[in-house]
Amino acid sequence: MTTQHDTIYALSSPPGRSAISVIRITGVKAFFVIKKITKKRVWKIKHQNSYPSYIYNINNDLIDEVVLTFFCSPNSYTGEDLVEIATHGNPIIVDTLFNTLKDLGLRLANPGEFTSRAYHNKKIDLVQAESTLSVINAKSRRGLQSSLRGMNGKLSNRLEKIKQNLISSLGDLEYELDIS
């Protein structure tokens, strides 16, 4: 059973071999888990700061040398504590890290769950959430530009102004109907 309170992880970069793979973790245990896999009791965690580190599995075997980037609640994408782990892009490293995170009680995120959490935590609205997927799947520059406008809130702002104008017009119409 999945809940909004689970700490989750997912691969943010494309699967397969590459120079770098990025794994994201979000939820209440995100920073605790980082302390566990880095074997560091104390981290000077600062929002939007990156730190090189070694990470280990639960048997203390070295997984990789990584770069950790911290995003503190409520200022992260999801509105929760969030960590991005940049590893070397070897699938064996990613699988080993995934198994370690699972062993520590984290859950693999469902598709779109990071964006869903951002929406539920009021970090983005529904138009921005839909636009996020459109940005990823855009097939042309024009489509990408349109999706980016939706993602950064410009479309939502325009729609909100239209909504306010409609509400005002409806109020005026009701007033005129009541008076006549």
pLDDT digits (tens, 9 = 90+) for 56-103: 999 999 999 999 999 999 999 999 999 999 999 999 999 999 999 999
Hey, what long-range contacts does 167-172 have (CB within 8 A, 24 or more apart)? none
The answer to whether 155 and 131 have CB atoms below 8 angstroms apart is yes
Give the span between the Cα atoms of 75 and 148, in whole angstroms.
Answer: 20
Give the span between the Cα atoms of 58 and 151, in whole angstroms.
Answer: 39
Q: What letter does residue 66 receive in the DSSP assignment?
A: E
Provide the pLDDT for residue 48: 93
Tokens 């921005």 belong to residue: 128
Ranges of the chain whose pLDDT falls below 70: 1-4, 41-42, 153-156
**Helix runs in 19-82, H state only:** 30-38
Amino acid residing at 158: R
Whole-prediction pTM:
0.80
Provide the pLDDT for residue 154: 66
Whole-Å CA distances, 145 to 1, 106, 126, 133: 38, 36, 18, 13
